[in-house]
Structure formats: C-alpha cells, structure tokens
Copies of this chain bind each other. A is one copy, B any other.
C-alpha cells in the first residue's frame, strides 16, 4: 500500500502568537499521511509574543523550498518580516508549488507583504482587517475565507476551525470529523464575546486600548 505524504510547513518567528500555529498544528498533524514541520529562518528557538513560551524551529527555510500546505501564523512579530527579503522570497517560492497557502490571524498581512493576496478576498485578526487593503486584498469578515487555493483565518483561535475545514476539503469530511473528535473540539466558551460584533462595546474598546498601548510603548 502506498501512501502519499502531504507536507505541511508552518513558519514560525520571534513574536508569533503561539495558538495561531499550535491550534492548526494539532489538527493537521492528526490527518493520516500528513506531516507537519515547524520551519523558520534558522533552526533553534523562537519566542512567542508574550515572551513566555519558546517553540523549536526544526528546519531552516533555506532547506525547505517546497511544501504542499504552507501555513503562516500571526502575531506582532510578523511585521518585522515584511521587509525581510529572504522570508518574502521563500513565501513566494513555496507558494508557487503549494497545493494550499494559508494563514491565521495577522499571518495574512505577511502573505500580503509577499504579494500573495493581491486581488484576493481574505480575512485576518479583527483589529487588522482594514490593513489587508494595503496589500491589494479585499477584506472579508468571516471565520475563514477561501479564494482559490488561498485560505485565510480570522484571529488566533480561528486557525482551529480553518484547519478542520482544510482537512475536510483536502481529504474527506469523515477524516476531519474524526480529528475533531480526537481533539475533543466541542467548544463551550463561558461567554459569547469572541468577536467585536458580539462583545459589549466597553470590552471591545478595552481590547483595542491594550493593543494601542502595546504598539505605541516600547
């Protein structure tokens, strides 16, 4: 019996938001025949945006020019890569051969900086949705947005939903259903404040204020 392996490359970098990457990882690594690898500028540790967690880069992007599925997580750290030619060239190169090119949260802005979302419908973290226009993309408020092979998810936790959709689309719904049960993903949040359309206005304003302080103070 031969089984084709689907190679998934998740790009990680200093200042990423951990759940953006680890949510989809947990889904995609459970798909039979799929192999996830965490790649980055160089092998070693990257630190997440809180500074409180380190993730391992297992392979340098220079050594991984191809992937069937490319996933770019977000976090404020992605902004430093908008002017990193090595990363931008790598993204464009992998995208040329990929079956799927995907992002979670503000990872979409990095795809945009690489020129990969020009003229496409896309989504990102709710606080960054308008920034998509800077890269020629059409912002869509949705849990995830599919435009051809491009699949972009909303903020942080949305990567789990997007990855389940991706697994279903690329394999079979039953496979994604089994993965969902495998990670016991039967969400039951104690509140219904997970989107700016649902949260009370003072909560929305408080979260915006935290972001403002984070990006204006050193």
Contact = CB atoms under 8 A, between A and B. Distances in A.
Interface of A: 17-19, 22-23, 25-26, 29-30, 35-38, 45, 50, 52-56, 58, 105, 125-126, 143, 154-158, 160-161, 164-165, 168, 173-174, 176-178, 180-196, 198-200, 202-204, 206-207, 210
B29 A23 contact: no
B187 A164 contact: no
Which residue of A19, A173, A183, A186 has the most chain B CB atoms within 10 A of its CB atom? A186
B29 A25 contact: no
A156 B181 contact: no
A164 B126 CA distance: 20
Contacts of A176: 190-191
B207 A193 contact: no
28 contacts: A18-B22, A22-B23, A22-B53, A23-B23, A29-B53, A38-B53, A45-B45, A126-B184, A154-B186, A155-B183, A155-B184, A157-B184, A157-B187, A158-B186, A161-B189, A164-B189, A164-B191, A168-B190, A168-B191, A177-B199, A178-B193, A178-B207, A181-B195, A181-B204, A183-B194, A185-B189, A186-B198, A187-B189
Contacts of A23: 19, 22-23
Contact of A143 (B17, B58, B188, B200): B188
Contact of A50 (B36, B161, B190, B194): B36
Contacts of A143: 186, 188
A178 B195 CA distance: 10
A159 to B, nearest CB: 10
Nearest to A57: B54
A92 B177 CA distance: 38
Contacts of A180: 189, 191, 193-194, 199
A50 B22 contact: no
A50 B30 CA distance: 8
A38 B52 contact: yes
B183 A19 contact: yes
B177 A184 contact: no
